[in-house]
Structure 1
Amino acid sequence: MSASEAQLVEQVVDTGRYPLSDPASPSWVAAVDRARDDLRRIGCSVLPNFIRSSLHETLKREGEEIAPSAHYDVEVVNAYNIANDESLPLDHPARITWERGNAFVPRDHIPRQAIIHQLYRSTLFQRFLADCFELPRIHELADPLAGLVLNVVRPGMGHPWHFDTNEFAVSLLTQESEEGGIFEYCPNIRSAEAENFDDVREVLEGGGRPSRLALRPGDLQLFRGRYSLHRVTTVRGGTARHTAIFAYTERPGVIGSVARTRQLFGRVLPEHVAAEDRAVRVDQLLD
């Protein structure tokens, strides 16, 4: 840990509640214990006001400056982010589709001096997250586009029901919408061993009782999205919803697939093509 990194954390993070430089402190232990308990029970934990309130306007401004660089492509998708397969039974949940209208600013368009970029690379931040997820360590996604993104949901748009490709996700709300934009999720609706298509279909058809989160700027969310169906409801009003997504993995060198990268960013880089034959799945789930 360098002095500059410790200074960065001190300036950006509410270290009174989240002392990232002091893992032996009572505040660290309390924050980690609560996150672990939440993640074990419901697969989701929110660390409120993780970013100092004095920097919320800076977070918002930095997001607004890069949001025009987001790749927009309204497309028809299903919860598994796979191509429409007409050979599937008509009652299969993958046959239920919506328009996805959210957009992503890729990592190579996020300035290195931006708060979210500096935080993403912080080893103190990574050590804290690994402890919350009960992992020995985590690694930055090697993907030059998807490692760190700003998710932009404009008014009238939403991010429909889906599962993540990664086992865990870390996100930070940087700008909330005037209305809507609520995070909804169904914790552990499937597992690595069981798709539970009937339960998934019930939710996609408007049934079930999803949990709901009204996040605020500066809140850090830890989430196990591989097995929990989730969405962001339609944004209303005149303000877009912005969320920084920090992508980490349990093993180093992970790069997104060519198809998924093109879907999200409208382009692929040589790194994606080179990594295609080395891809390793953590399970045999549909997506």
Structure 2
Amino acid sequence: MSTSVERVVNTARYPLAEPDQWAPLVRRVQADLRESGCSVLRDFIRPAVRDTLGREGAAVAPLAHYDVETVNVYNIAVDSELPEGHPGRKTFERGNAFVARDRIPPASVIQQLYSSEPFQRFVARCFGLPRVFELADPLSGLCLNVLEPGREHPWHFDTNEFTVSMLTQEPESGGVFEYCPGIRSADAENFDDVRSVLEGRGEPLVRRLPLRPGDLQLFKGRYSLHRVSAVEGTRARHSAIFAYSERPGVIGSVARTRQLFGRVLPVHLEAGTVRVDQLLD
């Protein structure tokens, strides 16, 4: 492991440089993922580095693309022709913002982690994969999510089968991560359960997870409906999203990239979209 990454990771609890010591930790993470689709590694970042983590995020947060949009849970066009009662007909206001990877300094803590081979091997082991690849997408491989006070990230599914993220700045209140583990599968959309959650009738399906800066979250967001509740107070919620794929060369779609970052690059126009299933979004 590079010296820089060793300085930021709490190696006493998470010995990334010593794979032969991973087994108990990996078993625990995999059990969490099987049971609930989510696992949190508390204090993954050294306490002495957390202030740096927060400052770096706050420094680039003004570079986020911000746009209030009307969206649905599947991130498809809200005027799509869908049958009566389909959960995709229910719309929400999305007011969060994203800082693209190309605007995050290479020396920052989250860039060091994202590109670290030991970190990638550890993530792959936790998800039971032979390896993971950085996205070839220069914008969405790594990004910082910025959620300003009064805003929320409404219910949605992820495009990727799994997500790795880390809170870098905690709001004064609100901004709680809520999710419905395994509410759908690669073979079944389960529209009835999704609709019940969106209409406020699915409380037994919803779990709430407190997160702190420096905690690493591993999440299967492709099949778990999730959101971040409205941020309250005067401080924004910042979260780094480490996007990996099971295959190399993955580039985001033109529509999704423009939605998240307000721009596309030639690589997006030239590439096709790689999907892992035939689900709606």
* Preserved contact between residue 63 and residue 242 of structure 1 (Cα < 8 Å): yes
Aligned to 1:17: 13
Deviation per residue, 1:202-234 (Å, 9 max, x gap): 000012231001100000000000000000000
Measure how far apart 1:29 and its partner are.
Answer: 1.9
Please give the alpha-carbon distance, in whole angstroms, between the structure 1 residues aligned to 2:70 and 2:220.
Answer: 24
Aligned to 2:45: 51
Aligned to 1:36: 30
Q: Which of 65, 74, 91 is residue 71 of structure 1 equivalent to?
A: 65
* Preserved contact between residue 9 and residue 20 of structure 1 (Cα < 8 Å): no
Aligned to 1:172: 166
CA RMSD of aligned residues (A): 0.9
Please give the alpha-carbon distance, in whole angstroms, between the structure 1 residues aligned to 2:40 and 2:80.
Answer: 39
Deviation per residue, 1:13-34 (Å, 9 max, x gap): 1101100000112xx2222111
Q: Which runs of 5+ in 2 are unaligned?
A: none
Please give the alpha-carbon distance, in whole angstroms, between the structure 2 residues aligned to 1:63 and 1:282.
Answer: 31
What's the TM-score once normalised by structure 2's chain length? Answer: 0.98
Superposed, which structure 2 residues align to 1:230-245 within 5 Å?
230-245=226-241
Please give the alpha-carbon distance, in whole angstroms, between the structure 2 residues aligned to 1:220 and 1:70.
Answer: 22
Superposed, which structure 2 residues align to 1:154-193 within 5 Å?
154-193=148-187
Aligned to 1:104: 98
After superposing on structure 2, the runs of 4+ consecutive aligned residues of structure 1 that deviate more than 6 Å are none
Measure how far apart 1:157 and its partner are.
Answer: 0.2
Q: Among the aligned pairs, what percent are the same residue?
A: 68
Please give the alpha-carbon distance, in whole angstroms, between the structure 2 residues aligned to 1:151 and 1:86.
Answer: 27
What amino acid maps onto 1:204 in structure 2?
Answer: L
What's the TM-score once normalised by structure 1's chain length? Answer: 0.96
Aligned to 2:254: 258
| 1:65 alignment partner, SS class | helix
* Preserved contact between residue 70 and residue 78 of structure 2 (Cα < 8 Å): no
- Bigger mean CA offset, 195-204 vs 86-95: 86-95
Please give the alpha-carbon distance, in whole angstroms, between the structure 1 residues aligned to 2:187 and 2:51.
Answer: 44
Superposed, which structure 2 residues align to 1:136-147 within 5 Å?
136-147=130-141
